[in-house]
Amino acid sequence: MNNERVVVTGLGALTPIGKNVAEFWQGLLKGKNGIVRISRFDPSEFGSQIAGEIKDFDPLERLERKEVKRLDPFAQYALYAAVEAVEDSGLLQYDGLDKHRVGVIVSSGIGGIDTLEREMQKMFQKGPSRVSPFLVPMMIPDIAAGHVAIKYGFKGPNFCVVSACASSAHAIGEAMKMIQRGDADVVVVGGAEAPIIKTALAGFSSARALSTRNDEPEKASRPFDAERDGFVMGEGAGIVVIESLSHALKRDARIYAELKGYGATADAYHITAPDPSGEGARRSMQIAIEDAGLTIDDIDYINAHGTSTKLNDKTETLAIKQVFGDRAYKIPISSTKSMVGHLLGAAGAVEFIVSVLSVINDTVHKTRNYEHPDPECDLDYVPDGPRKVTVRNALSNSFGFGGHNASLIVGKFEG
């Protein structure tokens, strides 16, 4: 590993409250609700009937018709956000760009499950001969990274990290290390998810992981609140462009922030439940802080995993207390999922973008629907926001089924 610093130079987002980064950020600051009754199909037979849907999405606003035709929605979302991030970075205007040194890592927790469900229905109803020859290349989670590379001719390392709801946070961390190893100068990295289909809804409902507050969808995602009853599925994508500082300076790029630290651990405890001791989440945060060369006193904001489930929220709170001690009570903590729902494999990247914006703007958004204090969740979750606060460094947490933990630290860039 070298001592190369890594900076963020491009941002792209597609979420239930904004179809670009600016809309998304303004939605967060306004406390906008993105949770609604599902409209894609009749959800009446399901225990949970609500989700964070993207409304009025037209991929042709940024993509070509021939691209869209053979893309599962998750890959459409990924490519749509990638176009924004790449254009935002100004990367293609740099005449000295070596595309062999540009990597792409785009993650997804469950990939093209919409395509899989549709083609399985064809097979069982009409026979195997009716299954599309594009089933596999539309379904596999790594195809989004492939499409981004094909669109731009980026020929550096290209793959997909899959670790459930920690997927895109792991992707960003691994991209950072890739640059520090000298394997790439630039990485287009993030995650995308399009899980709002019957099969996924049925699976999560059967696992009793989802909120059933169907009569009040706008109040269903309520991280850290005593009356939380499960998470709400969301959809969308978050893509960022990160690069070595030397490369960014060489091309006179606008630098948003510096990606400083990354921690990754496993609970090795249970397939879905977090370790109640908080040990895995605690070590993930501690490793990220150490990797960044910082101390607990340098962290001014935490974008929590904050799923709105009984187990996650109290365990994450406990882990934060273990890491920060008394300082835990002085750090503003918010959950983006309170407004957009849980974007599964895309959540980490979308929330990393929020952390970058918080650093840039010295502003943190509220945790929507935090109304009833929980004795086990007694930190500052910013119930009344947005809040102006100097954010030198932000910590973003992502945890996934299987006991996967990832923490990222982004801070102000100082040349």
Annotated active-site positions, please? 165, 305, 342
Element (H, E) at 259: strand 257-266
Write out the E strands in 291-370.
Answer: 301-303, 333-334, 363-364
Q: Please state, in angstroms and rounded to a whole number, the distance separating the CA atoms of residues 287 and 319.
A: 13
CA distances from 368 to 127, 302, 351 (A): 47, 15, 15
Decide if 375 contacts 389 (C-beta within 8 A).
no
Spatial distance between the Cα atoms of 346 and 168, rounded to a whole number of angstroms: 6
Report the C-alpha gap between 61 and 207 in whole angstroms.
37
Q: Which residues pair with 175 in a beta bridge?
A: none
Partners of 333 in the β-ladder: 302
Distance between CA 237 and CA 145 in Å, rounded? 12
Q: Is 268 left (phi over 0), alpha (psi -120 to 50) or beta?
A: left
Give yes or no for a contact between 310 and 324, defined as CB atoms under 8 angstroms apart. Answer: no
Question: Of 291, 315, 316, whose CA–CA distance to 302 is shortest?
Answer: 316
